[in-house]
């Protein structure tokens, strides 16, 4: 008998790759604002058992074995106006509230609830090494978004819950990396500001494998950093990307230029966190692409 998974954020970068990687014996229900668009996006793959629904039509989670909650407005796509900040928060918090309410009233709970977050929960941390046991957070907008998101998810009762504190996901079909490529391809690549800020990252294959690891290991519960065990500075990342593309890395984007272009959201790239995935490693997860050179070499850039 097939297992069943309820997935929010299925049309996003991580969700798309997760759907592609899930074994055929898992039936997937994708929660989406536009079921018609989602069905066109995934096409008619006979090896996948996909159903598309809106969140308002989900009245029970009793029939699901797993829930993976990845929904959320992209945090860095637009300037952080008050309206956009509200959209970023509500797109994460409201659907998480709904899922938790359904879990808490369920008479036959799923075996695991996996919910998204991000390394932004730590706030800017300079070169301080942070892992899941770190508690000296820097209060800022990214911290507020993620901490509230996590708190809401952890309100689910009597169910194994895992929180994904995700770094920059490296993939060749979207995400942050796609936005970095153009200046490098034009020969205008370089570091951002001093380049000393750390940029926690994870390859999409390890991201998906890590989620599957948490699903399949009943002893895993709580907070998990989904980042490479080898965090790099922005300058190091810029040099590695220039080598991969065989293009120069000679320019610097001044902080004031980025602040003018992005406003407060520029904080995401001007500051960073030196994040380590301590709990994922301690649980026995093996990264397939733990170093930046190998991760970039595996991508079709």
Are 227 and 166 within 8 A, CB to CB?
Answer: yes
Name 61's Cβ contacts closer than 8 Å, sequence gap at least 6. Answer: 6, 67, 99, 102, 103, 106, 109, 110
State the Cα angle at 92 between 164 and 34, rounded to 5°.
Answer: 110
CATH superfamily name and code, 3-174+200-229+273-289: NAD(P)-binding Rossmann-like Domain (3.40.50.720)
Please tell me the pTM assigned to this model.
Answer: 0.96
Q: What is the mean pLDDT of each run of 10 residues along the chain (301 residues)?
A: 94 95 94 90 78 95 97 92 97 98 97 98 97 97 97 98 98 92 92 96 98 98 98 97 95 92 93 97 98 97 93
Phi, psi of 249 (to 5 degrees): -135, 80
Confidence at residue 43, expressed as pLDDT on a 0 to 100 scale: 76
Q: Which two tokens stand for residue 212?
A: 């599957």
Name 187's Cβ contacts closer than 8 Å, sequence gap at least 6. Answer: 247, 248
What is the domain partition of the chain in residue ranges?
Answer: 3-174+200-229+273-289
Confidence at residue 300, expressed as pLDDT on a 0 to 100 scale: 96
């Amino acid at each position: 008998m097939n297992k069943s998974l309820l997935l929010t954020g299925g049309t996003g970068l991580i969700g798309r790759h997760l759907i592609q990687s899930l074994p055929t014996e898992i039936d997937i229900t994708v929660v989406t604002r536009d079921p018609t668009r989602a069905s066109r996006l995934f096409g008619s793959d006979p090896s996948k058992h996909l159903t598309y629904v809106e969140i308002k039509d989900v009245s029970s989670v009793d029939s699901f074995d797993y829930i993976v909650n990845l929904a959320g407005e992209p945090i860095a796509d637009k300037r952080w106006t008050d309206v956009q900040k509200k959209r970023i928060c509500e797109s994460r918090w409201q659907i998480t509230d709904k899922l938790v309410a359904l879990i808490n009233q369920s008479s036959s709970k799923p075996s695991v609830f996996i919910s998204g977050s991000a390394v932004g929960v730590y706030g800017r941390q300079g070169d301080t090494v942070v892992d899941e046991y770190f508690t000296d957070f820097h209060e800022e907008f990214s911290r507020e978004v993620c901490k509230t998101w996590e708190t809401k998810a952890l309100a689910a009762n009597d169910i194994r819950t895992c929180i994904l504190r995700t770094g920059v996901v490296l993939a060749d079909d979207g995400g942050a990396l796609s936005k970095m490529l153009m200046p490098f391809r034009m020969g205008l690549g370089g570091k951002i500001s001093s380049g000393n800020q750390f940029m926690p990252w994870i390859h999409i294959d390890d991201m998906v494998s890590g989620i599957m690891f948490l699903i399949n290991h009943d002893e895993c519960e709580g907070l998990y950093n989904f980042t490479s065990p080898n965090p790099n500075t922005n300058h190091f990342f810029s040099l590695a990307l220039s080598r991969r593309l065989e293009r120069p890395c000679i320019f610097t984007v001044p902080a004031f230029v980025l602040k003018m272009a992005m406003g407060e959201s520029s904080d995401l790239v001007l500051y960073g966190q030196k994040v380590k995935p301590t709990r994922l490693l301690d649980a026995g997860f093996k990264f397939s692409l733990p170093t930046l050179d190998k991760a970039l070499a595996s991508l079709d850039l």
